[in-house]
Structure 1
């Protein structure tokens, strides 16, 4: 194991938590296929597309609503209770899917309701996860821990859908959703085992009881964190059209089969895992310059798509783009962990998750008409060019902000 990560496994709490987090990531990876496939099976004739869209949206978007609606009550809870609550809710409601399927009552409306209910607390669960990592580990180990956790998520995008496709040859996708429920039950149980360890650390910070600790309010008072959130939102927004344009680039521009599309995403995911693992070695470098370099680097890898590059070149660029993008999530969470007061961390991370849930879907929605109007290659290149411009603008804003701060001190 690389030396950067060895100290993490000297921490008993982290050794217990990481496998459970990886199991839930794998369950979510399998559900990428299972949720949509099950929607196709139970949809009324001629309505499969509508139900697939509703199911996929229900599995993700209600988390943004939950972050805003329940913040008044949930922002005061310890990180481990937030993560456990989200895990138990997902385990319970996703577990109802195979049961309803088995007894023949899985109506499309019931299916969407169960998926939506299971995701209501997910923004808070994500906030609790990274807050818990910040609590059980010293500051100099957070980046390495974030890198392992984000790499687990990237790996699940590769392994999960493939495993779900294999299992679906033998069982209904409803049972695969049930396996996801079991993975979250395992995570909830493991988090409960950590409760006795995490609580003393969590309560050592002042208790958040006032409105001034609300996540969005605190972000407005922290220009650096607000800037990081804005950068991440636009980065994800500009990524959204890629998911629409890349399949059409394969079929229309390259006149290739779906196997080539699978190769693009497989190599991207593998690159993201490798890149994510390198994040632990970046802990001695300044976070902001590295983060802005990642944004610009990802944009550069998309430009060749609009220059008529052959498939061998664009596949290589996309794999390289995955490696460049890989450390971004870990660096972003580390920045928030380091700059946010401990008592407010879950609230701020929940606000962050809620805001980012809208970014990629909006970009994806715009990607459809843009691709139809200008062609997939041009949209991919434009996404890259605008991402490079985003990095340049963000760099300029940061330099201007530093100069302004110095002038005030003088």
Structure 2
């Protein structure tokens, strides 16, 4: 698979946003992401309030992993199967189920009736369409933008995530949790899901709902079969899996790092995530300027630079320094996902996008629950500082493997 097929003139962010459908869907994604970003602060705080006899790190890991378990199974079925489901339908289902679930969890939390088993069950079933909805959002936006707008749309989706999930969301989450409680932040995420639902219904015409899905009556190929014909993409998927897997202990360690090493509370946790998002915002804003660089080498450089971040974080006990380190980490990490997806999508036929992107998203994201489940006991045994250092060292050890996997041409 080549990094690009026939030469394509990549459009700028401004040109892509002139398409009303793309702009509307991305606006809904941005507002919904802000609600989800609040959970980065609210979920650990809520978990620590109700963990009971379960060790803190283990409880945080379980809560963070729960949304991925059933959603991974469903997305795997879609990616490995031959029958396509319209991306618009999957995204709508995700928004509706998420709104109902987080409204219920938020009301229980506000009334002090939320328990750890109920929270785990709610996250398990309420996130059933999470991965399918995420890949569908990308498919809908890139299909409306066309081949020339794909790189810009992937960059804008990364920009949305940086701004909403790691800047606005955590900062608002820290303020809301400190002033009104974690339950209000859960209700805010439900409201974000409703906003994305409206944006999808208004911005994505039914005629665009099935793009990238095999036509009725035509036997489509599974995502795995298509990836086997593109070994570079398959090997890159393995690299991305371990890149994400080695990152996950950071999410378990960070709330404990703030309470312990930094001796701070929810507001500091929000500021730390906000610093990551601020750096990621700059990195994502520059993605479109990186389109002419060798994508394979760029991906490897990002892995190496990010690996230094948790190690540097473990060496400081000062909030300001930690924010600078995390901000620089966000700067180098942000281009990774847009570049990786653009690289994979560039060699696909229209009917191949949904099975491959869904399977690729699932394979990359399944590292999250596995890494979180492993991260809880790891941080409990190695300690917060040891867990952060180990995350960075393992990521750096991935560099030679990534070089062989990605730079090798077929």
Class of the TM-score when normalised by the shorter of the 2 chains = 0.7 to 0.9
For 1:324 and 1:39, locate their aligned partners in 2 and report how far apart those are by CA, in whole Å: 30
Are 2:120 and 1:112 equivalent residues in the alignment? yes
> CA offset at residue 91 of structure 1?
1.7
1:1-400 → structure 2 map (5 Å cutoff):
4-38=12-46, 43=50, 46=53, 49=56, 54-69=62-77, 76-98=84-106, 109-155=117-163, 156-168=165-177, 171=180, 173-196=182-205, 198-199=207-208, 202=211, 206-207=214-215, 213-244=221-252, 256-258=262-264, 264-301=272-309, 304=312, 316-367=324-375, 380-399=388-407
Q: Which range moves more in the overlay, 382-391 or 118-127? A: 382-391
Greater relative contact order (Cα 8 A, min sep 6): structure 1 or 2? 2
Could you list the per-position Cα deviations for residues 240-267 of structure 1 after superposition, in whole angstroms to 9, with x for gaps in the alignment? 3334556777787xx5423777665432
For 1:91 and 1:127, locate their aligned partners in 2 and report how far apart those are by CA, in whole Å: 19
- Please list every run of 5 or more consecutive structure 1 residues that lacks an aligned counterpart in the other structure: 406-410
Structure with higher helix content: 1
Could you list the per-position Cα deviations for residues 79-113 of structure 1 after superposition, in whole angstroms to 9, with x for gaps in the alignment? 22221221122123323334566889766554433
In structure 2, what is the equivalent of residue 408 of structure 1?
none
Q: In the superposition, relative to structure 1, how do residues 277 and 61 fare at CA in structure 2: closer, same or farther (>3 Å)?
A: farther
> CA offset at residue 126 of structure 1?
0.8
Q: In the superposition, relative to structure 1, how do residues 51 and 388 fare at CA in structure 2: closer, same or farther (>3 Å)?
A: closer
Could you list the per-position Cα deviations for residues 284-305 of structure 1 after superposition, in whole angstroms to 9, with x for gaps in the alignment? 2232221122112222445556
Secondary structure at 2:204 match in 1: helix
Which one has the largest radius of gyration?
Answer: 1
Whether the 8 Å CA contact 2:61–2:376 is kept in 1: the answer is: no
Q: What TM-score do the two structures reach when normalised by structure 1?
A: 0.81
Q: In the superposition, relative to structure 1, how do residues 105 and 201 fare at CA in structure 2: closer, same or farther (>3 Å)?
A: closer
Q: Which range moves more in the overlay, 16-25 or 160-169? A: 160-169
For 2:134 and 2:227, locate their aligned partners in 1 and report how far apart those are by CA, in whole Å: 18
Whether the 8 Å CA contact 2:22–2:203 is kept in 1: the answer is: no
> CA offset at residue 220 of structure 1?
2.8
> CA offset at residue 214 of structure 1?
1.9
Whether the 8 Å CA contact 1:61–1:357 is kept in 2: the answer is: no
> CA offset at residue 387 of structure 1?
2.7
> CA offset at residue 192 of structure 1?
1.6
Q: What TM-score do the two structures reach when normalised by structure 2?
A: 0.81
Q: Which range moves more in the overlay, 314-323 or 334-343? A: 314-323
Could you list the per-position Cα deviations for residues 213-241 of structure 1 after superposition, in whole angstroms to 9, with x for gaps in the alignment? 22233223321221121111111122233
